[in-house]
Structure 1
């Protein structure tokens, strides 16, 4: 009898934990994907037709411009491409086009500018000017754009479709140390993940809490620090998971599978609730795949039964 009671209590405890995890997943999904859209920008010639769904990038091409990928960047890029193909069911091709985004050509292309050293603001401006002409984004003519962080991603919507531009700093030396390796890998993964899922930042003010998603970050003041400094790298690495969490892979599957027009629609969260068990099973299989191990952050809370 005592053994039966203990067994029942264990079952009830596991069920309660699973229910709590499910509720937490839905809450994180609401915070990361349930945002309002802004369809007009200051100085823009017209309101943009915005469509938010990472599935729109399935089967697209990653066009690298600027520096050739550092070997560590290339490992991350290839692992992420494999993850996108695994979750979305379509390959993410990649090529290095040269110094200019104009060399990427037309089509469903995500532009990734890699650099080391000082940010290439002139090249960034040229990239966005070209995208403005191709997609008729309505951006102000003659603008000069500057990097505001060592990694930044922007998706623009225009009369002729959408365009995504990512610019990420990478190691300047052949063999970066452990801190630099973690820093550069972390910022590259973050921009790729957010660009292909449209997940938004989630502030985490409790510094003692374990990270649950790559979207979470603790607030830090980095304005007085050089991007090259070890203090800057250390602070940024500690403010955010250095890779994808279990929840992030779960959301990749959710974005890929959800039969919704936009992932900012409330129906997206309803789909996650209905398909939770299926998505969880798929995620468990994905994170167990050694091809994606380099993308995962071991310190994340798993939130799984």
Structure 2
């Protein structure tokens, strides 16, 4: 919801009225550019201080990840997981064009075909801590990442994604919890769909979380989120799921589709640059038109949040 200050001069007095503009006015160009800057142009210096200088430069190129195959492994995918992954795969094909398929390869990461870039382990129930760390050791060898020896990583969320830029190129690992039964409540369906959509979008767009403290304005991107403290709550509890679902959009917003089109049409080899913002600003109307066409496609309904699909006018 936008606030606008109106000055009225009357008989020697200056009167200020605080007018509330209808939030239905939707986002504008300024909103989109601000989100693009926060989510896609960020400082890497703190991470690079610990990076092996012999490794190649970090380069965020969504096309390199998007066009490659995705290896889906771990638990047998739940019907909801299949629905979301199929919808997202169709979206990437619509926006980026030809891409390799999503392949379910079995229980182990070693079962994945060679030359993968994106690895998605799905699990039900308890978090597979040992298997997760075995996955990281496998990726360390395959991509020459240079992870510390004997380091044991913890799992702090039911859905998480890690991107690596190793000596043999970039790779990404997703660990996503899925339902363990078919008779889902509305809350459970929203929760499991939301966390899967978010991690898929982050990996394929190279965007980062955008903390949002203003609760008066609506969400414009899946990456925007209210900070919530859920540390001691069970992941399967209603309180945990409800809090997480309410902390950000349930699915992709119009801006997210807009941003995918920007990444698909730019010739930049590194999207983490002010040049991306200049590209978005210069092609803004064209990107809005592309996003509008994609949003109208019924195939993507399962991965969208209908409350944030309005584009700038």
TM-score under structure 2 length normalisation: 0.88
CA deviation digits over 1:223-275, x for unaligned, max 9?
12111101000000000100000000000000111111211111111010111
User: In angstroms, what is the RMSD of aligned CA positions?
Assistant: 1.8
CA deviation digits over 1:144-172, x for unaligned, max 9?
22211000001101111111100100001
Tell me which residue corresponds to 2:98: 90
Q: Partner of 2:102: helix, strand, or coil?
A: strand
- Whole-Å separation in 2 of the counterparts to 1:41 and 1:77: 35
Map 1:1-305 to 2 at 5 A. 21-38=28-45, 39-40=47-48, 42=50, 49-300=57-308, 302-305=310-313
- Whole-Å separation in 2 of the counterparts to 1:28 and 1:157: 24
1:109 deviates by 2.8
Moved more, 220-229 or 139-148: 139-148
- Structure 2: segments with no counterpart, 5+ residues: 1-24
- Does the Cα contact within 8 Å between 1:112 and 1:165 map onto a contact in 2? yes
Total equivalences in the alignment: 288
- Whole-Å separation in 2 of the counterparts to 1:140 and 1:46: 15
- Whole-Å separation in 2 of the counterparts to 1:111 and 1:101: 8
In proportion to residue count, which structure has more helix?
1
- Whole-Å separation in 1 of the counterparts to 2:214 and 2:285: 29
- Whole-Å separation in 1 of the counterparts to 2:240 and 2:50: 31
Q: Deviating runs (4+, > 6 A) in structure 1?
A: none
- Does the Cα contact within 8 Å between 1:151 and 1:167 map onto a contact in 2? yes
Moved more, 139-148 or 249-258: 139-148
TM-score under structure 1 length normalisation: 0.90
Q: Partner of 2:258: helix, strand, or coil?
A: helix
- Structure 1: segments with no counterpart, 5+ residues: 1-16
